[in-house]
Structure 1
Amino acid sequence: MLLSSHCCHSALQSSCRVTLSAAPVRRSKMCGIWALFGSDECLAIQCTNAMKIAHRGPDAFRFENVNGFTNCCFGFHRLAIVDQLHGMQPLRVKKFPYLWLCYNGEIYNHELLKEQFEFDYQTRMDGEILLHLYDRFGIEKMSSLLDGVFAFILLDTANRKIFLGRDTYGVRPMFKLLTDDGFLAVCSEAKGLTQITHSMSEPVKIMPFPPGHFEEFNLKLNGKVESVQLERFHCCTEEPKHAEYDDAEQLGKGFALETVKSNIRILFENAVRKRLMAHRRIGCLLSGGLDSSLVAATLVKLSKEQELQYPIQTFAIGAEDSPDIAAARKVAAHIGSEHHEVNFTPEEAIKAVEEVIVHLESYDITTVRASVGMYLVSKYIREKTDSVVIFSGEGSDELTQGYIYFHKAPSPKAGAEDSVRLLKELYMFDVLRADRTTAAHGLELRVPFLDHRFTAYYLSLPEEMRAPKDGVEKHLLREAFSGLDLIPDEILWRRKEAFSDGMTSTKKSWYSFLQENIESKINDSQLQKAKKLFPYNPPTTKEGLFMRQLFEKHYPGCYEWITHYWMPRWIKATDPSARTLSIYKPEKDQ
């Protein structure tokens, strides 16, 4: 037990604070956040639930009651990336003694906003900007001015208000549980809420907090809460309000091809540059595909310009004959990164599936498949290297219409609409995968393709410009970087290969090994009964049923965490893998 029993109801008028610090050699700022308001149970016992997200912040843990407020408390697991001395939360500063803040994320424009509004900082934490912005402008404008990725819990004791908020694409996760009698529980991951005890006559749903929204609650005198409003503060198709405070170079006007290409390069490089904010070593996942290669190459270029004291590490995972391993090796040699190759074996991957599902909190087939490799490479990074901040190429396929099925879009308008749909659903699929598999090993993920300025600009371009061209997906993005020698031409124009496919040979995909293993574990009779057993998102394959069973084993009845399975559109498909589609051809056949 972390806390002594005196931290229950009788002692709530005094602050109960416990901080557990790890060895001083590991510090960080990415974290796991957790909070309870209006609990009917002993807070000391409830606090043990917060330990289920300890992987998100292995450096230190703090649990703190809110003085004078019945059964309100915060929990925080820390991985320190900036301000190593003053990075513990909940964050409180002398200027705003009535504000309590727990947040997970990075605010990339905090220095610009600090200078613009002449705020007087008391820490070096980027999150302090939330306190100043809220005090001056209120919650809505505060949220809209933030350029970054974040999930926050803000308590205003003076006005008896609680606010929750999450970034536009849900890069940083957050779940909430709210009962009819005014009990509110919030956590970075759902697993930190599944064992919460409360005097509830009926089960209460734990649901992901919607990206791009904030929610306001009243905190009643009896400690219970009441939801007042849930509002969207930013949508991916909107130009962010913080753009006027961004330090990006002046962009060219109009949609002439050369102007557009130049703007794409400027905004993408700026997106990578602002994410270099760290006091820990930086690495990059490198599959050898277009997206991760552009991120890695730009990262290496900017790190040299800023004279970082160490080379950028890149990480690839795959079998010896995987196309990804070969392509990543070429990119690493071209850009001069310190490259690591992680051996991938189907046997090791199959053993990891259940553990991956536990971390994902998802049973989506393509998400689980792709997560296994990312989970294993993240494990290697944690155990074998000193890189903590990890860049990756997530979001590009959704933004730039990179999936193979976009070739079958009935019109540029339809393709553009589906691109926005995919971006809005990232928090259930690719962004969820990338966050959970890296955070499982105490790593912090950074995704420059989901930069607000970059996505808003790209989505503002004419629909015809963004559509596949000459049989090549992501044609505009490729063309923007053509002729620069940033990455090899063969990589620049390499066709889309799903991560879960590219890890293994073109002769046999990873999912085929998995399906063969599952064949002996699920029989035809079980599959036939699956539709009645699981009427919500019923599995239609033995693989799908196997994953659903593992999910239900750990998270019974929590199937609504995803609304649907990820599947290609506009083409008959029974499997999410591009290799199963009739329009897919291996690179050697192009």
Structure 2
Amino acid sequence: MCGIVAVFGDVDGNVAAAAESAAARLAHRGPDGSGLWMRLGSAVLCHRRLAIMDPAQGKQPIRGRDGAAVVHNGEIYNFRALAEALAATGRRCVSGSDSEVLAHLYEERGEACVEALDGIFAFAAVHGDDWMVARDPIGIKPLYYGRDRAGNLWFASELKALIDNCVSFEVFPPGHLMSRSGGLRRWYAPPWLRGEPGEPGDPAQLRRSLSDAVEKRLMSDVPLGLLLSGGLDSSLIAALATRLVRARDARAEIHSFAIGVAKDSPDLRAAREVAQFLGTTHHEVSFRVEDGIAALDDIIRHVESYDIPTIRASTPMYFLSRYISDLGVKVVLSGEGSDEIFGGYLYFYYAEDPQELQRETVARVANLHLSDVLRADKSTMAHGVEARVPFLDLKFLDLAMSLPPELKQPRGAGRGGEARVEKWILRQAFADDADPLLPSSVLWRQKEQFSDGVGYGWVDGLRAHAERVVSRRELAQAAERFPYATPATAEAYVYRDRFAALFPGEHAARCIVRWEPRWQTDSDTSGRANPFHRAAGEGARRLTG
């Protein structure tokens, strides 16, 4: 939810006006209202609101009892418990907004307030002469920071709010906070993230823990839906959410959403099967390859990246989010994070040993804020829709990342012997023949990357378009034009070219990290480039046939 801009330093009227103008560039993140708070010579806070909790109240910047001011992008899932504890100390919340607890907590605990939060957030807080900015542990909510020519510090939810105001800027790291007195420091550092052994996780707890993660993310005062690709991850989230909602209201109507370039695309077929099994009100959206190509400028403007898999996957998610927003749905549950946690991408078949696999899963989770969660947030928030990601719940994450790594290696599913399947431990946790959560064909479906699953013609069409519009000469001279992050293919050149036009300069380019699969000879990011794409699929069919 929402978009924020904060400036700290020698703030005058001109700086405040520039900050308010920068916040207007984030209107897509908060179409339900705007707000501004400032103290001349010190700070200005700007907010664009997507009203999810207590839409009638909760306007930001939000104030504490003793005068603190806060702007927040995200959701605090344990806000009711925090509000009760605050009330016992005389700090009573006056709205049903989850963001209000941040102002009171900051007044009471200072920087230590972040340690009490269970949720997703990027927020800036001011109290007297002190201020702080913090980002959630995994970076599910985006945040950037930089300095203007006068030395003022700027913070914003998206690059587009900083590009004309700062002479230097970068990604604000997840799990960190910055304060006036203490500078930048990490506050979230569990053993698994540091590469240190901890207490081994119990795989028997996976099902209960993921269900708890989904349940807390059903918190909403506005309509909520389900993103459903028909893959294992989104289908598990959809199935758990459907059961939880129907346990409260057996007749509740639950909306699920899928997208593809053709009616017979892999994801649409599988999502259709899941929706029928779950009994959701299902929506199928189609887009044409030429429409996706025509929208590339808009996609790059919103997701602020030139990374190939990010652009490929953002396009269908962008179109689907527009459809969802038009229906009046503001919150969706999604399956991001599972592949990074459990080694679900097909290139993980090549990991030499469990320890190498574990190191790669840690690296992928640590960089999610530069890849899949960035794509999920910005593609949906382009249309004022918030994506929630239960797999990245902190309790579930601590459990899953502490599992013995050999349990995450591709292995036989026990239903045919010889075949191997990725994410076996997660699939097995939900394999209950007596009370199936999903059809077996979906529970054991091979990993299909989103940009492939919407229809193989999408990626093929992008490549063909790039080959037509990028000349051999341009590609040969790419290093001269783009000495940093030089594009090696025509498709990469198209994205790098458009990004440079929208976000000029090396500071912007350095905010992006390009992802390539490890351990395989073909560096293309499409899952189809991996030889296991077909072999693993045949194995999965043997297991379920």
Scaled by the length of structure 1, what TM-score is found?
Answer: 0.84
2:408 aligns to what? Answer: 466
2:416 aligns to what? Answer: none
**SS across alignment from 1:235:** coil
Check if 1:192 corresponds to 2:143.
Answer: no
C-alpha separation between the residues in 2 aligned to 1:149 and 1:406? 28
C-alpha separation between the residues in 1 aligned to 2:19 and 2:142? 21
Task: Report the CA distance between 1:539 and its aligned residue.
Answer: 0.6
Task: Report the CA distance between 1:465 and its aligned residue.
Answer: 1.4
1:231 aligns to what? Answer: 185
Check if 1:322 corresponds to 2:265.
Answer: yes
Contact 2:6 2:19 in 1 (8 A): no
1:341 aligns to what? Answer: 284
C-alpha separation between the residues in 1 aligned to 2:410 and 2:63? 50
Task: Report the CA distance between 1:518 and its aligned residue.
Answer: 1.6
1:121 aligns to what? Answer: 93
Task: Report the CA distance between 1:42 and its aligned residue.
Answer: 5.1
**SS across alignment from 2:122:** strand
C-alpha separation between the residues in 1 aligned to 2:256 and 2:173? 32
Check if 1:53 corresponds to 2:16.
Answer: no
Provide closer, same or farther for how the CA distance between residues 176 and 254 of structure 1 changes in structure 2, counting only shifts above 3 A.
Answer: closer
Check if 1:521 corresponds to 2:469.
Answer: yes
Contact 1:176 1:184 in 2 (8 A): yes
2:307 aligns to what? Answer: 364
Task: Report the CA distance between 1:462 and its aligned residue.
Answer: 1.0
Correspondent of 2:437 among 486, 496, 500: 486
1:78 aligns to what? Answer: 49
Scaled by the length of structure 2, what TM-score is found?
Answer: 0.91
Letter in 2 for 1:113: L
Check if 1:570 corresponds to 2:519.
Answer: yes
Letter in 1 for 2:29: R
Task: Report the CA distance between 1:394 and its aligned residue.
Answer: 0.5
C-alpha separation between the residues in 1 aligned to 2:228 and 2:159? 29
1:144 aligns to what? Answer: 115
Letter in 1 for 2:319: L
C-alpha separation between the residues in 1 aligned to 2:402 and 2:376? 26
C-alpha separation between the residues in 1 aligned to 2:159 and 2:256? 31
Letter in 1 for 2:447: K
2:66 aligns to what? Answer: 96
Letter in 1 for 2:442: I
1:437 aligns to what? Answer: 379
Contact 2:137 2:174 in 1 (8 A): yes
Letter in 1 for 2:473: S
C-alpha separation between the residues in 1 aligned to 2:302 and 2:203? 40
Aligned residues: 518
Correspondent of 2:351 among 409, 424, 435: 409
C-alpha separation between the residues in 2 aligned to 1:133 and 1:71? 21
1:200 aligns to what? Answer: none
C-alpha separation between the residues in 2 aligned to 1:217 and 1:365? 38
C-alpha separation between the residues in 2 aligned to 1:552 and 1:32? 23
Q: How does 1:116-515 map to 2 (within 5 A)?
A: 116=85, 118-119=88-89, 120-139=92-111, 141-157=112-128, 160-179=129-148, 181-196=150-165, 204-218=167-181, 228-235=182-189, 237=191, 260-261=203-204, 263-307=205-249, 310-318=252-260, 319-383=262-326, 385-470=327-412, 471-483=420-432, 484-504=435-455, 508-515=456-463
Provide closer, same or farther for how the CA distance between residues 329 and 277 of structure 1 changes in structure 2, counting only shifts above 3 A.
Answer: same
Letter in 1 for 2:524: D
**SS across alignment from 1:65:** strand
C-alpha separation between the residues in 2 aligned to 1:586 and 1:322? 19
**SS across alignment from 1:419:** helix
Provide closer, same or farther for how the CA distance between residues 416 and 426 of structure 1 changes in structure 2, counting only shifts above 3 A.
Answer: same
**SS across alignment from 1:584:** helix
Provide closer, same or farther for how the CA distance between residues 308 and 525 of structure 1 changes in structure 2, counting only shifts above 3 A.
Answer: farther
Note the alpha carbon deviations across 1:509-543, whole angstroms, 9 max, x for none.
41110111121210111001112221211110000
**SS across alignment from 2:532:** coil
Task: Report the CA distance between 1:131 and its aligned residue.
Answer: 2.6
C-alpha separation between the residues in 2 aligned to 1:455 and 1:154? 27
1:13 aligns to what? Answer: none
Provide closer, same or farther for how the CA distance between residues 418 and 184 of structure 1 changes in structure 2, counting only shifts above 3 A.
Answer: same
C-alpha separation between the residues in 2 aligned to 1:286 and 1:133? 36
C-alpha separation between the residues in 2 aligned to 1:509 and 1:467? 31
C-alpha separation between the residues in 2 aligned to 1:355 and 1:205? 24
Give unpaired runs (5+ residues) of structure 2: 194-198, 413-419, 540-545
Note the alpha carbon deviations across 1:199-254, whole angstroms, 9 max, x for none.
xxxx7222121100001125xxxxxxxxx421111136569xxxxxxxxxxxxx97
**SS across alignment from 2:4:** strand
Task: Report the CA distance between 1:588 and its aligned residue.
Answer: 6.2
Letter in 1 for 2:285: V
Contact 2:229 2:271 in 1 (8 A): yes
What is the percentage of aligned positions where both structures have the same residue?
39
**SS across alignment from 1:387:** coil
Task: Report the CA distance between 1:584 and its aligned residue.
Answer: 2.0
C-alpha separation between the residues in 1 aligned to 2:228 and 2:180? 42
Task: Report the CA distance between 1:306 and its aligned residue.
Answer: 2.0
C-alpha separation between the residues in 1 aligned to 2:537 and 2:17? 61
Task: Report the CA distance between 1:129 and its aligned residue.
Answer: 2.1
C-alpha separation between the residues in 1 aligned to 2:19 and 2:224? 36
Letter in 2 for 1:137: R
Contact 2:148 2:154 in 1 (8 A): no
Letter in 1 for 2:496: R
C-alpha separation between the residues in 1 aligned to 2:250 and 2:291? 35
Provide closer, same or farther for how the CA distance between residues 282 and 59 of structure 1 changes in structure 2, counting only shifts above 3 A.
Answer: same
CA-based RMSD of the aligned residues comes to 1.9
**SS across alignment from 1:538:** coil
2:79 aligns to what? Answer: 110
Note the alpha carbon deviations across 1:118-158, whole angstroms, 9 max, x for none.
3532322212222333233321x21122110000001121x
Give unpaired runs (5+ residues) of structure 1: 1-29, 197-202, 219-227, 240-252
1:3 aligns to what? Answer: none
Check if 1:555 corresponds to 2:526.
Answer: no
